[in-house]
Amino acid sequence: MKEKTGLRKRIFEIIEKSDGNDRLSTVYDFSMIVVIIISLIPLAFKSENTVFYFFDKISVAIFIVDYILRWVTADYKFEKAGPVSFIRYPFSPMAIVDLISILPSLTFVSSGFKVLRVLRMIRALRVFRVFKAVRYSRSFEIIGNVLRSSKRTLLAVGALAVGYIMVSALVVFNVEPDSFSNFFDAVYWATVSLTTVGYGDIYPVTTIGRIITMFSSIFGIAIVALPAGIITAGYMNEIRKEHDSDQGDNKDK
């Protein structure tokens, strides 16, 4: 029993993101990133051929093995949960991404959706495989830490942006009803103005409508710039933490 437990723990150490000290884990992470990239290549082409077919089947087989290994070692990942870990794991965010990246390639799943004519959507879901790379990259982990630490601030900025879009849409929709057939068009215009993209497919034609557009674009620049500044500051903070941690480890040695 101890031998099996030790084997499962070693498997867990290998499949989890490497800290750089475990060579086998580093090789595993690198190999999985390569498999993910290869599995995405067929999505860049409309036509299908034998090579792409084998790319897909081999990669999905590897993903299934990876998924099973993570499931059977879930108690090491969620130590506090105990046996409940095996029930909890399939509902964790990354496990859901793994499952979504696997299901579209399974023949029996795809054939069941053919009647609904959503095969292209099933094919498109394979793009979720790119999110699997998140767990194998230290850089993505740092970005994840930044987003978690800045969550409240980013949510506040997001709420400000949504509020601004809705208010701008209401104002321009009532000021210039002839230019917008419905309120959704006004929301679309407000979003495009906020981000300063300016597609030009829907636009106000009256003077007051154009004045509102100018103000919307000017304030939009400030609102759109806020998340970039927050994320940059958080990223630099994480880099400093990493640097201080590495220095501390070197001193201990």
pLDDT of residue 127: 56
pLDDT of residue 71: 92
* Fold of the domain built from segment(s) 151-252: Helix Hairpins (1.10.287)
pLDDT of residue 29: 82
Tokens standing for residue 18 = 């490497």
pLDDT of residue 253: 54
pLDDT of residue 69: 92
The string of pLDDT tens digits covering residues 66-94 is: 899 999 998 888 877 678 888 988 998 88
The stretches in the chain having pLDDT less than 70 are 1-5, 17-20, 81, 107-141, 198, 242-253
Please list, residue by residue across 123-140, b when 16 or more beta carbons sit within 10 angstroms of its beta carbon and e when fewer do.
eebbebbebbbbbbeeee
Please report, for residues 43, 116, 127, the alpha-carbon distance to residue 121 in angstroms, rounded to integers and kept in the order given.
12, 11, 10
Q: Which residue has the tokens 């994480």?
A: 238
Q: Which residues, including other chains, have CB under 8 Å from residue 23's CB and lie 6 or more apart? A: none
Assess contact for 113 and 19: CB atoms under 8 A.
no
Torsion of CA 199, 232, 230, 213, to 10 degrees: -20
Q: Which residues, including other chains, have CB under 8 Å from residue 147's CB and lie 6 or more apart? A: 154, 231, 234
Average pLDDT of the chain, as a whole number: 77
The string of pLDDT tens digits covering residues 163-175 is: 888 988 888 888 8
Torsion of CA 241, 244, 245, 246, to 10 degrees: 120
Tokens standing for residue 198 = 């300016």
Give the residue from 165, 218, 176 showing the smallest Cα distance to 196: 218
The string of pLDDT tens digits covering residues 190-210 is: 888 877 776 777 778 888 888
CATH for the stretch 2-136: 1.20.120.350
pLDDT of residue 65: 92
Tokens standing for residue 223 = 């609102």
70/14 Cα distance (integer angstroms) = 10
Domain residue limits, the chain: 2-136, 151-252
Please report, for residues 165, 168, 177, the alpha-carbon distance to residue 181 in angstroms, rounded to integers and kept in the order given.
17, 16, 7
